[in-house]
Structure 1
Amino acid sequence: MGDHGGRKVSLTVMRPVDRSVLVVVPALNEQESVADVVEDVRRVMPGAACVVVDDGSEDATGDRARQAGAIVLTLPYNLGVGGAMRAGFRYARAHDYEVVVQVDADGQHDPSDIPSLIEGLAEADLVVGSRFAGVGDYAVVGPRRWAMSFLAWTLSRIAGTTLTDVTSGFKAAGPRAVKLFAAEFPAEYLGDTVEALVIAARAGLKITQRPVEMRTRQAGRPSQRPFRAAIHLGRACMALALAMIRPRATLGGTS
């Protein structure tokens, strides 16, 4: 049980079977899709444990996830994806998981790509699932594309490698990244994407990417309409600037 601003975070858990791989699914009001996501994860990764972080949902997200066989961490109010993933990484560290895979609860990430992301950890500490690396037909245009291209170019220079999709929420973290993120994962807006990559790169972690294919959202409405998506990417650029002025995190300083 954790403490966020004086309020307790309740953890409803089941004993995991495997201590090596933990799939973390941050979820807010995704009762229509979360069970299918959990079932797909368990089908593709039968030996892994799946944690759904119920990020202050006002629907039956937690119950549906639990019924599908997931471990459920229930946050008392909405912290955003960054806060939910921080809870997931801390759970992983506390239970000695070596690998954490982040998967969205809306069904757009295909769990069949998880083994490829994990394979990438043989040569890197953090593997990003890229929607723009030659698989599938996912595309963006206009101001959103320009902002994403700028972010990708900038972060590629920071990380010392080519990254084409730095706002992807589909990632695999190896042991060194799990250790770092359990202590340093940012809970702020966009912290789970742009800022997390900056923190990892500046801490000396090796980052790479693997191509993934996006699926159609299973339920609900996309959170980003074209105009709002452009604003979102503009904020991402500001998040990048803020991340660069933060003190540099080090693996030796984590615990």
Structure 2
Amino acid sequence: MNTNKKILLIIPAYNEEESIAQTIESVQNFREKYYDEYTLNYIVVNDGSKDKTSEIVRSLEVGLIDLKTNLGLTGGFMAGMKYAKRKGYDYAIQFDADGQHIPEFIPGMVDVGEMGTNVVIGSRFVTQKRPTSLRMLGNIMISIAIKMTTGKNIQDPTSGMRLFDKKAIEFYTNNPNMTPEPETISYFIKKKFVVKEVQVEMQDRTAGESYLNLSRSIQYMVRVVISILIFQPFRK
């Protein structure tokens, strides 16, 4: 791994007071272990949380973008990407605040990025089989939609652990309609960016509850599929 490369973990957080400290601790422990190998920084984007997320991050003296209004994941992640661009980072990695993502898989993602890949997806299903469930059915539907519109197989399009290289960061921040959702992966492929998956493992949420219950998950999957198949062809 090139030690001159600068990597930024962007950690969007909304009402994550129960898990944010543990997530930061896991990243800090990983950083100390691999400190001599490359430059890894991280920043929390507090997306207008109504709980003590901001106060906890401040008490830990961690880099913080403190949004006073809840912009949603799209706005929060865009703020982090603009920060990465402004500070000249070579790679930006989307990293969940709820403890599901494991930092030990970061080096493998960066290694794939160093091979000329613009976007690296931390995928649960490169070598592992997708489980059978209603939620996974939605994942499969999105994979099929991406395959139909781009010709490329993406096994885990809903993974929120993604690496963007400098070219992808530039493109992302210069396009206001970009989102940290599967539609963006499809759009990057259509724009001839190199997108690859690397096998990772993920943990269950460490605390709190996900916004996406079963009903919302179904609505989300349907919206994404419609966006990829119907609306995205009209994007310039």
With the shorter chain as reference, the TM-score category is 0.7 to 0.9
Equivalent residue of 2:69, what SS? Answer: coil
Q: How many Å separate the matches in 2 of 1:193 and 1:94?
A: 23
Q: Which amino acid aligns with 2:218?
A: A
1:86 aligns with 2:68: no
Paired residue secondary structure (1:129): strand
**1:212 deviation in Å?**
1.3
Alignment match, 1:230: 218
Equivalent residue of 2:174, what SS? Answer: helix
In structure 1, list runs of 5 or more residues that go unmatched: 1-17, 248-255
Cα distance in 2 for residues equivalent to 1:96 and 1:82: 21
* CA distance in structure 1 between the aligned counterparts of 2:130 and 2:99, rounded to whole angstroms: 15
Q: TM-score, normalised by structure 2?
A: 0.87
Q: Aligned residue pairs: how many?
A: 225
Query: Cα gap change, 1:88/1:140 in structure 2, threshold over 3 Å: closer, same or farther?
Result: farther
Point out the more displaced range, 88-97 or 111-120. 111-120
> Match for residue 23 of structure 2?
37
Q: CA deviation at 1:106?
A: 0.5
TM-score, normalising length from structure 1? 0.81
Partner of 1:150: 141
Match of 2:118 in 1: 125
Counterpart Cα distance in 1 of 2:195 and 2:41? 24
Whichever residue aligns with residue 28 of structure 2, its letter is R
Unaligned residue ranges in structure 2 (runs of 5+): none
1 CA distance for matches of 2:132 and 2:137?
Answer: 9
Residues 1:243 and 2:229 aligned together: no
Q: Secondary structure at the match of 2:140?
A: helix
Q: Does 1:25 align with 2:48?
A: no
Q: Counterparts of 1:138 and 1:113 in 2: how far apart (Å)?
A: 19
1:134 corresponds to = 127
The percent of aligned pairs where both chains have the same amino acid is: 27
User: Aligned to 1:180, which of 156, 168, 171?
Assistant: 171
Compared CA separation, residues 22 and 35, structure 1 to 2 (3 A):
same
Q: Does the Cα contact within 8 Å between 2:145 and 2:225 map onto a contact in 1?
A: no
